[in-house]
Structure 1
Amino acid sequence: MPEPERKFSVQRGLTFITGLVECLCFAGAVFGWASLVFVLKEEGYFNSMCVNVTSVNGTQSLDCSAQDEQFSLVFTIASFLNNFLTLPNGFLFDRFGTTVARLFGIFLYTMGTLMVSFSTAALGYLLFPALSLLAVGGILFLVTNMQVGNLFGSRRSTIITLYNGAFDSSSALFLIIKLLHEVGISLRGSFLFLSACSVIHVLRTVFLLPKDFIPYPLPDHYTYGMNCGKSETAGTEVATNSPHKTPEETPLTKDAPVKQERSFRECLMSRFFVWHLLWLSVMQLRHYLFIGTLNPMLQRLTAGESSLVSQYTNAFAVTQLCGVLCAPWNGLIMDRHKGRPRAAGETEQEADLRASVLSLFLTALQCVLFSVCASSPSLPLQYLTFVLQVLNRSFLYGGNAAFLSVAFPSCHFGKLYGLVMALSAVFSLMQYPCFALVKGALHGDPLYVNIALTLLSLLAFIHPLSVYLHCRRLASQRSKSRDTTTST
């Protein structure tokens, strides 16, 4: 292997590994909220909201429903901004490139960790901006890392799926902070360490990522990072001295075929987009409400026994580590037709669309099973709930990006991805009134809300049915066309 190619191979490998570590250890930490809440309660955050109440038999107890509601509000706002700001973050990335987007994300993430580290029980309100900054900075880590898949050609989708799984698994970061807190490491010390890790993010941005974008397909003699623009071969000199755009400046969507594509407005008004938005929104709401209310649910099922709450919280956080293992399964399901002969007249896009039906259906089915288990008052059954939750979440977000890339023109992917995440975030705001309803009018009994959410999850089956009927219609049209040709 020539020296330039060997150096590029090493750099590419380091970029992939460090990107995986970054997504796995930092990007989606906010979704480990249940573990952090346990620590925050021990530190006395929002304790002033707990009040003594007298039951009908005259015994006194501590009612902390208002405290739980405040913690739920912190997570609701953070999870909302995590999705809603994906749209402007996408435009920032498209307009200014990788370096600017990442430096902005690192700044937000560092500010968030510093706010948590310097917060106290008396300054509990700092959790609102802190968790929101962590969420928005973390999603920028993921968005800027997904382009690393472009360096690996045929394994591009696998890398992207793996990074999304690592993002899910990073919620276990708060479990590590919880375990460290139990052995005497302070909350402040843990978050100051996370702040110091920002130096690593900056170094990776400078040396292992491009200033602008990684194009797909990858041009010959492509370089990035500190090597970008250096003459390693004659071919590289020609490329870098050309008056045209360098490979690094080529947008990710330049590989779109030159043909009459649907406009962004047509995509937005299509049946596929509407049903896909509903599919994502109802399942995402179920997941967000489950994560945001896990601690009070465990408090209720264990009758407030702290050791049991800690045990189940740890079990939930450990299962989140499996997200990086579950994520590629969905990609395998969607790519199962690759290498097989297609039906006569069937295009690659139609084959991809047909393959997505099973993925969409299984994701909806997993959500319903997860919701049923989460609604059960059986404490041991929650172990199964945790497994179904991490499996379904991995399928949900991987399937979301995969379907958008299959069903719509690639030139609109960034805008559609940002928009569907933003609109689904607005829908996810329903989690807070649901929580307030349980704590208020329903007197802490979530049965009716859980039933309603399970029934709502059934709406997700409309999307795979719609795609299936569309594929059947296309197959029928091809069949009629062949019959007409034969008879002629």
Structure 2
Amino acid sequence: MATTKTLRYAQVACACVWCLFSAGIVFGFAALKPILISEGVYHELCDPKDGDGLLCTAQDLKLNFIFALSATVTNIMALPVGKILDMYGPRVSGIIGSGLLFLACGNFISAKHLASIWDPYLVGYTLLAIAGPFVFISCFQLANSFPQKSGTILALLTGSFDSSSALFLIYRLLYQNWYPNLHVSRFFTLYLIVPLFILACQLTIMPHSSYKTVNHIAKIAVEGLDENGRLIEGDTGSGIIPDEQERQSLIAIENEEDTLPDTSTRPQRRKSVLETYVEDKLQKKSGGIFGVLHGKSASEQIKSPWFYLMLLFALVAMLRINYFIATVRTQEEYLLNDAALALKLNSIFDMLLPLGGVVSIPFIGLLLDHTDTLSTLTILFTTSIAIGIFGLIPNSFTWNLIGIVLLVVYRPFYYTVVSDYSSKVFGFDTFGTVYGLLSCICGIFNMSQNLLDKWTHTTFDMNPFPINLMLVILTLFFSLTLTFYIRSQILRKPKNGRALPPNYQTI
């Protein structure tokens, strides 16, 4: 037993290490971009009169397109990776991710030789983006390797994902200050250690089959109960039912029901007493939102305003986040009218982005635990609008810095709240499909950031104000629309809500 426990600790540790070095590194593009410019990537697109080392419009647009495509692909892959994980298990998913990282490295290492065949930088960075979800999502099932610590493990994995964008920041610091000969090809030669490490772990210590599916992990994270609505092994239930007498009474009823004839042949399983109790508490705690579409098919849920109104907000929110990551330097140069201050803000952003998730995760957890869903969404919407407004203020280093600090905290907050909303509104049976579809659609729409970037360079002569103002207005409109819809649905519900009876059954 001790060996098994040690092995599970090793599995979690290895997963955190490779997530730190591969899961979300594409979001460190702002730090990698200066190196690509210095290396002359796409400089052949510039007019010879521009001179060496100077960034031209065509080169800037092409470099930003790399990130736009990679951010799109990363989100699109959330849906197929979840399906592959459920069908073939985490080991196959991890090995696929490792193979994609190998191919990505090969493109960067052999860029000069491959340039005549295809665009090695575009292909290589896109492969990094595809690999990320394979190596990251396949780790979610480890949250149940220690069921009572599932929340901590999920936080560690998410923190590793958020921090992974720091890899290119470290590379840029090494390149600019100590090792100017550490060219892109040499860096990715060294980076081959990462896919080798992942492959070695998958073939040796990692589990072949999932401890739990993504849907089950979502249920554990929200309810504290396993997929059958029972207490997790070794859990006394004190975390979800504080009152000792009430807890013992419910557990006693639960144990009595275990002696009843098996009903597993029914179309849907009978809800446990604990599950009924917990879901009623969550329904009240969430302000009436929890369970609103539970039990409905995925197609019915997708057609509901609960889905498409959140989708509209998410489309703009994700677009704004990734558009800023790709264009932070050029936006700040125009707003501050000072290249040195813009570079300083860019450097601060590069450092804060990987720290944002790590620092904010505990506070996000506290907020979700102690605030109803509509209030949490209101905070999310308000923060999103505030960030947009700060990005409109010219000639102010302080206000732009505040906007950047808010953005790096807002990014993990946004992803966590949308995931939490999806699990509470749509339920756990369809969570993977509905949330995966939402991420996938957002990813496809994210390609429009390339069009926004082109308009900024050409139509608006590098002025980011018109695009940012449009995004703020859309954010405000969709935020208010979703808020009013949720509020109207809550007001329509009976005010004298009560707990469902212990013998409640899902039909």
TM interval, short-chain normalised: 0.7 to 0.9
Pick from 445, 458, 471 the counterpart of residue 463 of structure 2: 445
What is the CA-CA distance between 1:158 and the residue it aligns to?
Answer: 4.3
- Alignment map for 1:220-299 (pairs within 5 Å): 257=271, 261-299=295-333
Is the partner of 2:322 in helix, strand or coil? helix
The alpha-carbon distance between structure 1 residues 276 and 209, as it changes in their structure 2 partners (threshold 3 A), is farther
**Does 2:391 match 1:395?**
no
CA distance in 2, matches of 1:319, 1:302: 20
Pick from 112, 119, 126 the counterpart of residue 132 of structure 1: 126
Pick from 7, 11, 14 the counterpart of residue 7 of structure 2: 11
Q: Which amino acid aligns with 2:456?
A: V
Cα deviation, 1:108-154, whole Å, max 9, x if unaligned, reads 12211221233259939211111111011012222111222222334
Which position in structure 2 is the counterpart of 1:194? 191
What is the CA-CA distance between 1:168 and the residue it aligns to?
Answer: 2.1
CA distance in 2, matches of 1:204, 1:34: 31
**Does 2:134 match 1:149?**
no
Q: CA RMSD in A?
A: 3.0
Cα deviation, 1:376-421, whole Å, max 9, x if unaligned, reads 3336233222211111101111112222111113121111121111
What is the CA-CA distance between 1:159 and the residue it aligns to?
Answer: 3.1
Runs (4+) of structure 1 exceeding 4 A deviation are 218-221, 254-260, 301-305, 307-310
CA distance in 2, matches of 1:18, 1:469: 47
Pick from 162, 171, 175 the counterpart of residue 165 of structure 2: 171
Q: Which amino acid aligns with 2:493?
A: L
Which position in structure 2 is the counterpart of 1:98? 90
CA distance in 1, matches of 2:394, 2:148: 46
The alpha-carbon distance between structure 1 residues 295 and 110, as it changes in their structure 2 partners (threshold 3 A), is farther
Structure 1 contact 161–331 (Cα < 8 Å) conserved: no
Q: Which amino acid aligns with 2:327?
A: T
Name the TM-score, length of structure 2 as normaliser: 0.76
CA distance in 2, matches of 1:199, 1:362: 42
Structure 2 contact 39–183 (Cα < 8 Å) conserved: no
Which position in structure 2 is the counterpart of 1:365? 382
Structure 2 contact 311–438 (Cα < 8 Å) conserved: yes
The alpha-carbon distance between structure 1 residues 452 and 302, as it changes in their structure 2 partners (threshold 3 A), is closer
Cα deviation, 1:3-48, whole Å, max 9, x if unaligned, reads x1x3333223222233222222221000010111100001111112
Cα deviation, 1:161-198, whole Å, max 9, x if unaligned, reads 44233312211111011112121133222211211221
CA distance in 2, matches of 1:330, 1:285: 22
Any unmatched runs of 5+ in structure 1?
55-60, 222-253, 338-354, 482-488
CA distance in 2, matches of 1:68, 1:261: 48
CA distance in 1, matches of 2:12, 2:60: 40
Which position in structure 2 is the counterpart of 1:484? none
Cα deviation, 1:285-322, whole Å, max 9, x if unaligned, reads 101110111232244456674x6555333211110122
**Does 2:473 match 1:473?**
no
Structure 2 contact 336–394 (Cα < 8 Å) conserved: no
CA distance in 2, matches of 1:200, 1:8: 21
Pick from 27, 38, 41 the counterpart of residue 42 of structure 1: 38
CA distance in 1, matches of 2:313, 2:155: 19
Structure 2 contact 335–393 (Cα < 8 Å) conserved: no
Structure 2 contact 341–397 (Cα < 8 Å) conserved: no
Which position in structure 2 is the counterpart of 1:66? 58
The alpha-carbon distance between structure 1 residues 106 and 257, as it changes in their structure 2 partners (threshold 3 A), is farther
Any unmatched runs of 5+ in structure 2?
217-225, 235-267, 277-293, 501-507
Is the partner of 1:14 in helix, strand or coil? helix
CA distance in 1, matches of 2:142, 2:483: 30
The alpha-carbon distance between structure 1 residues 72 and 19, as it changes in their structure 2 partners (threshold 3 A), is same
Is the partner of 1:261 in helix, strand or coil? coil
**Does 2:440 match 1:422?**
yes
Q: Which amino acid aligns with 1:133?
A: L
Structure 2 contact 98–196 (Cα < 8 Å) conserved: no
